[in-house]
Amino acid sequence: MNDHKPTEITRDDVDKFFNDLMNGEYDVKQRPCFKCGAKHFPNYGWCLDECDECYFSRFPNEEREAFFRSFLE
């Protein structure tokens, strides 16, 4: 029998996360992009050590637009 319930994130959970983040509990650092040198938080291009702008620049405009529009649909 599966008693698993979806995780519920409460306002208190979010507040605790941001308090911990601001107090240095998490090691979130900006890194320089390998390609352009801009500081960025690792995201899509993390495996190449690139900022998102450089990472997505390798794709045609139509593909980038479709990717970002998918979040709004």
Q: What is the pLDDT of residue 3?
A: 73
- Please say if the pLDDT value at position 56 is more than 60: yes
Q: What is the pLDDT of residue 18?
A: 85
Residue 21, domain member (yes or no):
no
Interval 52-63 mean pLDDT: 92
What's the total number of domains in the chain? 1
| Cross-strand bridge partners of residue 32 | 39
The domain containing residue 62 runs over which residues? 28-73
Q: What are phi and psi of 40, to 5 degrees?
A: -150, 160
Residue 35, domain member (yes or no):
yes
Q: What is the pLDDT of residue 15?
A: 92
Confidence of residue 2 (pLDDT cuts 50, 70, 90): low
Residue 67, domain member (yes or no):
yes
Residue 65, domain member (yes or no):
yes
Residue 66, domain member (yes or no):
yes
Residue 63, domain member (yes or no):
yes
pLDDT digits 0-9 by tens, 13-53: 999 988 887 887 776 778 888 899 998 888 887 778 888 89
DSSP the chain: ----------HHHHHHHHHHHHTT-S----EE-TTT--EE---TTGGGT--HHHHHTTS-HHHHHHHHHTTT-
